[in-house]
Structure 1
Amino acid sequence: MAARNPAAPSNLLTLAEVLAELRVSRSTFDTWRTLGTAPKCIKLPEGRLFVGPRGGIMTDRTYLGMWHKARKKALNPYEAASPLAETPYALRHAAVSTWLGAGVPAAQVAEWAGHSVAVLLRVYAKCVAGQEDDAKRRIAEATRPKDG
């Protein structure tokens, strides 16, 4: 992690720290900003982006409040009343699970999710279960002699 700017207030979080705390990607945070539901951002010298309500530390309550506002704007009333994407992590977990279940190679999913392949498979191994028949079909197709 980069050294903190000594001129910056110590009670603010860098964007990287906020993303890690929220367990969301930069693209998710950027979507929140586009929707107008992201926490207040303060750009400090050297182009660093710090986040915090009224200049304070980002709390769980603050980011979940923003998340729920974004959900209400993005989802229809039926979806918003459901557990769909109830937390940022649930949405991320659903995306990674869906990619793996759809047969996207683990190395690609790991890259998109910011995981190593080992961590990805340890956490999401159950999502690749049941793909044996499809894998055998692809192997058979790849090894079948080509017609002339």
Structure 2
Amino acid sequence: MSRRREYLSIPDLCAELGITRDTFYKWRAKGAAPSCTKLPNGALRILRDDLENWLNSRKEAVLR
């Protein structure tokens, strides 16, 4: 059984990360934001799996 893909809107993403839209678009301009999908109407969506992968790629290594 396949899992339904979950997409987040920019306001949803910003609320989840606790950032402003301005911060998101600054990250996007620098190429540092999670991957986005552009809908035919121009709206951006972020696949939940892409967000999780993006967050995991930013984990800092713990030095012992």
TM band (smaller chain):
0.5 to 0.7
1:50 maps to 45
Does residue 59 (structure 1) correspond to residue 52 (structure 2)? The answer is: yes
2:17 maps to 22
**After TM superposition, where is structure 1 displaced by more than 3 Å over at least 4 residues in a row?**
none
With normalisation by structure 1, the TM-score equals 0.32
Mark the structure with the bigger radius of gyration.
1
SS at match of 1:46: coil
More strand by share: 2
Does residue 13 (structure 1) correspond to residue 3 (structure 2)? The answer is: no
SS at match of 2:41: helix
Q: Output the CA distance in 2 between the equivalents of 1:31 and 1:63.
A: 20
Structure 1 residues 61 and 39: alpha-carbon distance in aligned structure 2, compared to 1, 3 A threshold: closer
What is the percentage of aligned positions where both structures have the same residue?
A: 32
More helix by share: 1
Structure 1 residues 12 and 51: alpha-carbon distance in aligned structure 2, compared to 1, 3 A threshold: same
Q: Which has the higher contact order (CA 8 A, sep 6+)?
A: 2
| 1:35, distance to aligned residue in structure 2 (A) | 1.3
